[in-house]
């Protein structure tokens, strides 16, 4: 066993943060927090303090025989002297050294350490609190209480002093204190007396924790009473004391959240609720959560190993980060995708009402159908990614961004199920880990990108096949009717209507073909021909081409018309 302790000693020396976090239960975290200053000032002493805690705990639990504990103490004393010698003198180091000595049952030595330091800096809170702890170990509880009070006069928020005050007051008064702590709740006297008799610091520490929790419970009960009578400020006062005594008690931040909510300080309330949730989780969640909490404190290599261990223990099936009921992502997704697809088909086939009264009325052209598909795909994608993000956290959002960025400015019918499937896939994959979600999301994104390119190619082919404006009719339909059916812009439709005569017999019935006829035969089809008309329409169409928001189909028609006009005017 002594070997184990020495090994622990060595491990603590090598990586103090790791061993410290793993070995100490959550309840001891407040003590660590309070010792932060001392840990920074005297890291060697801080490590020895932790080793001493382990050893005393092992002894208390019977895992370390008394004779071996004595052997450990000899070795420990040597290490302590060495650490004291190499530690730069500071109030924090002196305070920590004194507290270790007190725990070793050497209060006089501890006082001898503190006295010169206090002569130099009599108001130093670390030294005063350490002195209070020494007095406490000496069972001089009034003196310990007085030291705590002295520190609290200058710094009412000093948590160490607050805790010492309540521990020592409970020991001394035997009646309700100023804060109203019931003696029965504040002091399980028999337990502490036994601990004192045994002189075991671990038992004393455990007793302190139990006492702190009971005191905190008492204070939170009082705070709840204040909340019920709409006095959140007084409730917060009780809760501040409870937090000082037992910072790991989740009920405290929860009630603080309620109080801040009553005070309309919603941001602070949310922060308090979040802390309460974190404390509850730290206590009650499976090993994976505890490991996840520890993972942030470990080095990267250790994190990888930890994750691997976690996967062995936990189910490989995804577990939502959110504790609420998981969304039925797949059925919702399929339904949404189906509805959007059907809507797109409907919109693409729907005949719009012509506002300009021209015959034929325009259908929703290829461009609009294309736009409908694109909108549907994007809506479906965003909806799925939003659902996945809500369900599985920000990892899905990251993967979704990758996916959406590949869709780009266009989409095809193939994109809708692709996006829907990707959203679902991303959500499911993110449930495992964010890294795996990215891994799965990327192939899906690449697939979507390929589908997008294929759709673009198909679309551009279809567009080029239907872009001709000259050369008579196509599939029996006059150019005028075909162009009017495709064009959407009212000014463009007006120009087409002017340029193409219904039931004309020369060429395609366009003014361009009329001009070509006039140029070729010398026979005018009006008094002075159609040249003037073509020039006026050319000017008009050039303005149409500059219109913002002109669809790609309208642009193409305009360009083709302009080329046709220019060719006609040039004798082509």
* DSSP 8-class letter at 481: H
Nearer to another protein (CB atom), residue 74 or residue 520: 520
Q: Look at residue 477 and give its three-state secondary structure.
A: strand
Nearer to another protein (CB atom), residue 22 or residue 532: 532
| Count of residues near another protein by CB under 8 A | 30
The CB density around residue 542, as the number of other CB atoms within 10 Å, is: 12
Sign of dihedral through CA atoms 507, 367, 485, 562? negative
Nearer to another protein (CB atom), residue 296 or residue 522: 522
Q: Is 523 in the site for another protein (CB under 8 A)?
A: yes
Q: Cis peptide before 360, with omega less than 30 degrees from 0?
A: yes
- Best CA proximity match to 395, nearest among 424, 422, 425, 435: 435
Nearer to another protein (CB atom), residue 48 or residue 512: 512
Q: Is 554 in the site for another protein (CB under 8 A)?
A: no
Alpha-carbon separation of residue 147 from 124, 144, 161, 431, 457 (angstroms):
11, 5, 8, 53, 83
Q: Is 526 in the site for another protein (CB under 8 A)?
A: yes
Instruction: In angstroms, give the least distance from the CB of 536 to another protein.
Output: 4
Q: Is 543 in the site for another protein (CB under 8 A)?
A: yes
Say if residues 88 and 100 touch (Cβ distance below 8 Å).
no
Alpha-carbon separation of residue 77 from 2, 47, 51, 87 (angstroms):
15, 13, 12, 15
Say if residues 175 and 30 touch (Cβ distance below 8 Å).
no
Instruction: In angstroms, give the least distance from the CB of 518 to another protein.
Output: 9
Find the binder of another protein among 75, 115, 359, 457 (CB under 8 A). 359
Nearer to another protein (CB atom), residue 264 or residue 527: 527
Find the binder of another protein among 11, 358, 397, 563 (CB under 8 A). 358
Query: What is the 3-state secondary structure of 249-293?
Result: CCHHHHHHHHHHHHCCCHHHHHHHHHHHHHHHHHHHCCHHHHHHH
Report the C-alpha gap between 233 and 226 in whole angstroms: 8
Cβ-based burial of 375 (10 A; exposed 0-12, middle 13-18, buried ≥19): middle
Stretch that binds another protein, among 18-26, 460-468, 537-545, 562-570 (CB under 8 A): 537-545
Q: Is 538 in the site for another protein (CB under 8 A)?
A: no
Tell me the two tokens of residue 151. 């520190």
Q: Is 501 in the site for another protein (CB under 8 A)?
A: yes
Q: Is 351 in the site for another protein (CB under 8 A)?
A: no
* DSSP 8-class letter at 296: T
Stretch that binds another protein, among 106-114, 255-263, 453-461, 524-532 (CB under 8 A): 524-532
Nearer to another protein (CB atom), residue 105 or residue 490: 490
Find the binder of another protein among 60, 214, 508, 511 (CB under 8 A). 511
Instruction: In angstroms, give the least distance from the CB of 486 to another protein.
Output: 18
Alpha-carbon separation of residue 101 from 41, 85, 86, 140, 209 (angstroms):
17, 15, 17, 16, 21
Instruction: In angstroms, give the least distance from the CB of 547 to another protein.
Output: 8
Q: Is 66 in the site for another protein (CB under 8 A)?
A: no
Nearer to another protein (CB atom), residue 253 or residue 509: 509
Stretch that binds another protein, among 16-24, 189-197, 318-326, 528-536 (CB under 8 A): 528-536
Contact residues toward another protein (CB under 8 A) are: 357-359, 490-491, 494, 497-498, 501-502, 506, 511, 517, 521, 523-530, 532-533, 536, 539-540, 543-544, 547
């Amino acid at each position: 066993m002594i070997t184990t302790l020495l090994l622990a000693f060595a491990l603590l020396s090598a990586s103090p943060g790791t061993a410290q976090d793993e070995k100490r239960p959550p309840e001891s975290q407040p003590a660590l927090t309070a010792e932060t200053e001392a840990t920074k000032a005297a890291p060697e002493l801080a490590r020895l303090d932790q080793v001493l805690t382990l050893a005393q705990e092992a002894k208390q639990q019977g895992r370390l025989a008394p004779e071996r504990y004595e052997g450990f103490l000899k070795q420990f004393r040597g290490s302590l002297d060495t650490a004291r010698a190499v530690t730069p003198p500071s109030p924090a180091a002196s305070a920590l050294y004194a507290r270790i000595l007190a725990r070793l049952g050497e209060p006089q030595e501890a006082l001898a350490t503190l006295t010169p330091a206090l002569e130099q800096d009599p108001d130093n809170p670390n030294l005063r609190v350490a002195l209070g702890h020494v007095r406490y170990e000496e069972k001089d509880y009034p003196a310990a209480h007085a030291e705590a009070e002295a520190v609290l006069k200058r710094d009412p928020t000093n948590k160490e002093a607050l805790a010492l005050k309540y521990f020592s007051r409970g020991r001394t008064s035997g009646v309700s204190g100023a804060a109203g702590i019931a003696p029965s709740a504040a002091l399980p006297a028999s337990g502490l007396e036994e601990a004192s008799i045994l002189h075991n610091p671990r038992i004393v520490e455990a007793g302190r924790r139990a006492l702190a929790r009971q005191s905190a419970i008492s204070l939170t009960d009082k705070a709840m009473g204040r909340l019920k009578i709409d006095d959140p400020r007084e409730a917060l006062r009780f809760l501040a004391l409870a937090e000082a005594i037992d910072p790991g008690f989740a009920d405290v931040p929860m009630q603080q959240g309620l109080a801040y909510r009553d005070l309309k300080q919603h941001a602070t309330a949310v922060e308090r609720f979040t802390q309460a949730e974190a404390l509850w989780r730290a206590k009650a969640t499976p090993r994976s959560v505890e490991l996840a909490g520890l993972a942030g404190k470990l080095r990267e290599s250790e994190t990888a190993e930890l994750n691997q261990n976690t996967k062995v223990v936990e189910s490989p099936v995804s577990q939502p980060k959110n504790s609420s009921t998981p969304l039925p992502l797949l059925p919702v997704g399929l339904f949404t995708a189906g509805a959007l697809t059907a809507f797109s088909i409907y919109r693409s086939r729907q005949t719009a009402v012509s506002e300009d009264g021209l015959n034929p009325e325009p259908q929703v052209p290829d461009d609009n159908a294309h736009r409908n598909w694109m909108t549907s795909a994007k809506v479906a994608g965003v909806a799925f990614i939003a659902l996945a993000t809500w369900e599985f956290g920000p990892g899905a959002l990251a993967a979704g961004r990758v996916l959406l960025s590949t869709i780009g400015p266009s989409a095809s019918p193939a994109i809708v199920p692709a996006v829907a499937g990707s959203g679902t896939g991303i959500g499911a994959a993110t449930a495992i880990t964010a890294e795996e979600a990215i891994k799965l999301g990327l192939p899906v994104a690449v697939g979507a990108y390929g589908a997008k390119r294929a759709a673009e190619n198909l679309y551009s082919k279809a567009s080029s096949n239907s872009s001709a404006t000259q050369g008579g009719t196509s599939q029996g339909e006059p150019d005028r009717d075909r162009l009017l059916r495709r064009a959407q812009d009212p000014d463009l439709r007006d120009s087409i209507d002017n340029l193409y005569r219904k039931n004309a017999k020369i060429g395609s019935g366009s003014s361009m073909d009329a001009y070509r006829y006039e140029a070729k035969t010398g026979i005018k089809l009006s008094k002075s021909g159609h040249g003037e008309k073509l020039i006026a329409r050319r000017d008009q169409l050039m303005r149409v081409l500059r219109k913002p928001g002109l669809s790609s189909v309208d642009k193409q028609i305009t360009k083709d018309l302009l080329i046709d006009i220019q060719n006609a005017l040039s004798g082509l």
